[in-house]
Amino acid sequence: MKTIRQITILGSTGSVGESTLDVIARHPDRFRAFALTANNNVEKMLAQCQSFQPRFAVMLNQKSSEQLASAIKTANIKTEVLSGIESLEKVASLPEVDTVMAAIVGAAGIRPTFAAAQAGKLVLLANKETLVMAGHIFTDLVKKHHATLLPIDSEHNAIYQSLPHHFNGNLAAAGVSHILLTASGGPFRCASLDSLENVTPEQACAHPNWDMGQKISVDSATMMNKGLEVIEAHWLFEAPPDKIQVVIHPQSVIHSMVAYVDGSVIAQLGNPDMRTPIAHAMGYPERIESGVSALDMFKIAHLDFEQPDIKRFPCLDLAYQALHAGGNMPAVLNAANEIAVESFLQRRMAFTAIPTMIKHVMQTIQREEMMTLDDVLRTDKLARAKSHEWLANLQ
């Protein structure tokens, strides 16, 4: 009889969290949702608690936690409600927990993800910011505490599947020439450059292939999402920046590829559904059913590839610049982008001002090395302050 793996989902009410719960529901003999966490979506969290009966439910927001606790008591659900960042860290590191799905969007997900690694958990990483902001600090922590790290982003999971099973971080020894990171190009791949000035949040969030949250959808529209993934790939696979090539692939069928020195290119294909990489990581090294329909090659008919246009997508270039610079620059890039995207979604600035703000903040803050998580969080705070200063001057 197989042991049921106890899973904490950091960010259960988001798209990745919901997909993770869908996979759990398909395999009740393998997995249990031990703890669910969210920021402030009480209604959705209550429904999840009713369906999955977790041991803990954590709301980052105190008021939301109180509302959830009242609703759970009324519904007679035996789930303990907690609140705050310390509680997120707690449920990510409890001895009963085997696996942690790190799916909180933004810098808020870093501390509980660090706690999971420090506790030696199997960390399924969907939170980009952990590696973008604190790459070497986090990967060193994973090694030190013998945690296991598996990527959930469809692109990095595809790379992981396309690398040799014995891959140990040495691309040259594995015969790898370079990594091909695919990108859909988002909703504005073919839009005129002049029209981007008047893009609305609704247009930016209308991704042609993926169903994602607002922040990630805007990042996809600017291709900052792909820039952050370049930085992630650098840390996940110990790949130098010049060994990571971004390829626009509008159909989002090939999720990424690995090119080898003998001329071979190995790719992972599938329908654009996050349940595929989630099921791969949750079942690894076994393959388990995900609920995703089989890929119909005849329906696809053709696959297209393009080089990214830096004039159209300056955020991608800024990400490469931050990676080359190293130190605190990726954290600065990420913080400035979060404020820029939030401001755009609030209609406080234009879509085309997003890279302008980020570039300004990167030029304003001096490069320095980061050795601890406190260094990372201090950089994040400084970059956000500089971003708000820029926004205040804009208005």
How would you classify the pairing of strands 244-248 and 80-83?
unpaired
Q: State the CB neighbour count (10 A cutoff) for residue 328.
A: 24
In the block, residue with structure tokens 């042991």: 3
This prediction has a pTM of: 0.92
Q: What pLDDT, on the 0 to 100 scale, is given for residue 1? A: 53
The DSSP element (H or E) to which 275 belongs, if any, is helix 275-283
* Residue range 5-151 in CATH 3.40.50.720: yes
Residues making up the chain, counted from first to last: 395
User: How large is the angle between the packed helices 353-364 and 214-222, nearest 10 degrees?
Assistant: 90
Closest CA to 230 of 162, 130, 128: 128
SS3 98: coil
Closest CA to 316 of 355, 345, 357, 364: 355
Q: Where are the domains of the chain?
A: 5-151, 160-325
- 8 A C-beta contact, residue 35 and residue 91: yes
The Cα 88–Cα 9 span in angstroms is 10
Kindly write down the DSSP assignment for every residue of 161-178, as one continuous string: HHS-TT--S-TTTTTEEE
Q: What is the pLDDT along the chain (395 residues), one digit of tens a residue?
A: 568 999 999 999 999 999 999 999 999 999 999 999 999 999 999 999 999 999 999 999 999 999 999 999 999 999 999 999 999 999 999 999 999 999 998 778 999 999 999 999 999 999 888 999 999 999 999 999 999 999 999 999 999 999 998 899 999 999 999 999 999 998 899 888 999 999 999 999 987 666 677 888 899 999 999 999 999 999 999 999 999 999 999 999 999 999 999 999 999 999 999 999 999 999 999 999 999 999 999 999 899 999 999 999 999 999 999 999 999 999 999 999 999 999 999 999 999 999 999 999 999 999 999 999 999 999 999 999 999 999 998 86
Angle at 373 between CA 140 and CA 282, to 5 degrees: 55
Closest CA to 338 of 367, 381, 370: 381
Cis ω on the peptide bond leading into residue 241 (within 30° of 0)? no
List b or e across 346-370, with b for residues whose CB sees 16 or more CB atoms inside 10 angstroms: eeebebebbbebbbbbbeebeeeeb
